[in-house]
Amino acid sequence: MPKFKKFISFACLLLTDMLALLSSFLLAHLLRSQVIPKFTSVFKYAPVPLEVQLKYGFLFGALIVIFVFSLEKLYTKRFSFWDEVKHLYRGLVFSFVLLMLFVFLSRGYTQFSRVVIISAWILSLLLFPLFRRTAKIMLVRLNLWKKKVLILGTDETARALAKGIRSNPTIGYEIMGFLSTDKSELGKPLLDDLKVIGEVAQVENWDPGSGPLDIIISLPEIDQQTMIELIETSEKVAETIKIVPRIGNIFTLGVDVETFGDVLSLSVARNLVKPWNITIKRVIETVLTALLMILFSPFLLIIALAIRADSRGPALFFQDRLGENGHKFKLIKFRSMYENGDAKLQEYLEGNAEAKREWREFQKLRNHDPRVTRVGKFLRKYSLDELPQLINVLRGNMALVGPRPYLPREKDEIGKSYDLILRVKPGITGLWQVSGRNILPFKQRLLLDEYYIRNWSLWMDLVILIKSVKVFVSREGAF
């Protein structure tokens, strides 16, 4: 039965990819034959007939896509959604480059329309992730893509791992529970309905029931020899074993695996500290910010007028923040508080012990903040008070995406993370904002900022910007 499910899942994913590719070519041909000629006379000649284009373009494209996607392990490995999109994009770029090379080398220009092929490639970047996500959701619901997983460990990283799995349903993992090294933790709930269901020492006797089992080991404190023995024991019941290393909660994507003879080593990166990466990021963000300033300028004026009409004081608020290399700069926001906000806060905290505790942990008040005006509540709800920070980006004080812009008084709390986090420009948005925002404890924000700096890539920035739009719409973590 497990082999049958694997075969069905593979066949469904393969069929889904072919449907996505076919849809891309059909839409591309429609654009070339019906839409584009209405707007330009550049293409005077009729396009290659659809049946010819499908016979040569789609047919060869399908064979190439299957081959490249197999190399990317897109039919065998379980990815989170954005990781899968990254592999899909890489595979599609390579596939269509090979297809264009095939067109050139075969000199089969009469059998291909280059406009259709390029248009199909652009459309495929949208259709493939959409088709794949839909297919995997259906496979999970039909219990064909599901696979049981057991987490060995109960620490903070193990819980974060479970959260990550549950937030990515297309991975298909069904968490059975946690195994602990501490017998006293049996039955202890760690995440919603997930509990400690056994001891790590009992793993070799574990019966997953029907279907294969994967095991993820998150036990950073055990020694090397014990880990080897645990892996050997786990192999008796698990199909796949994954190990979360001691540094797994920070460095994951930025780690390169190298071997020196028979010795394995991990190379820890600091991607956003490298000058070339900084330059590329700066150029792209400056152009994008300039376009956003032009687009949002009417809204900025309307918001400024609303603030002035609602309460006494200027529309803009300037606040000292820690910037690149620890230098202070003036962060610009729309004013969302009363001018005497600090006095109001102090008075409120002195009379409310729970609010005082919450302020000490989060440096925020989630339920009621006496400093915030009526218009300010609306602006904060939708993060509109952050828009003037686009000016900071153009000035060079900030980036569109980056670590949180910390307050000078938070310097001591940043602690040992200070030297790394303050090496780069802070961002209007970042991992901290799309991963829980104000709900996150201060220490968790620091971990996310370190993770971002070490693992930075243009792809990560793009994903964060897309997720920021979702956070803006859903108002997740806003208060």
In this predicted model, what pLDDT tens digit does every residue of 39-69 receive, in sequence order? Answer: 776 666 666 777 777 777 788 889 999 999 9
Residue 265 has a pLDDT of: 59
What's the DSSP call for residue 77?
Answer: S
Please check the confidence at residue 248 and state whether its pLDDT lies above 70: no
- Quickly state the pLDDT bin for 253 (edges 50, 70, 90): very low
Please check the confidence at residue 282 and state whether its pLDDT lies above 50: yes
Q: Which amino acid is located at 45 in the chain?
A: Y
- As a residue count, the chain comes to 479
Please check the confidence at residue 233 and state whether its pLDDT lies above 80: yes
Please spell the DSSP secondary structure of 447-466, one letter per residue: HHHHHHHHH--HHHHHHHHH
Contact at 8 Å (CB) between 368 and 357? no
Domains of the chain and any CATH numbers: 2-141 (no CATH), 147-246 (3.40.50.720), 275-337+372-474 (no CATH)
Contact at 8 Å (CB) between 254 and 269? yes
Taking the CA atoms of 366, 371, 377 and 379 in sequence, report the sign of the dihedral they define: negative
- Quickly state the pLDDT bin for 251 (edges 50, 70, 90): very low
Please check the confidence at residue 334 and state whether its pLDDT lies above 70: yes
Positions of E strands within 402-455: 427-429
Q: For 172-225, what is each residue's pLDDT tens digit? A: 888 988 998 888 888 888 888 888 888 888 888 777 665 678 889 888 778 878
Would you say the pTM of this structure is higher than 0.85? no
Residue 37 has a pLDDT of: 76
Please check the confidence at residue 438 and state whether its pLDDT lies above 70: no
Tell me the average pLDDT across 254-266: 55
Residue 206 has a pLDDT of: 77
- Quickly state the pLDDT bin for 261 (edges 50, 70, 90): low
Q: What is the CA radius of gyration of the chain?
A: 27
Q: Which of 337, 341, 407, 340 is nearest to 379 (CA)?
A: 337
Q: What are phi and psi of 340, to 5 degrees?
A: -100, 35
Residue 224 has a pLDDT of: 79
The more confident residue out of 109 and 212 is: 212
The more confident residue out of 342 and 70 is: 70
Range in 46-50, 379-383, 412-416 with the lowest mean pLDDT = 46-50
CA-CA distance, 66 to 320, in Å (whole number)? 54
Please check the confidence at residue 363 and state whether its pLDDT lies above 70: no
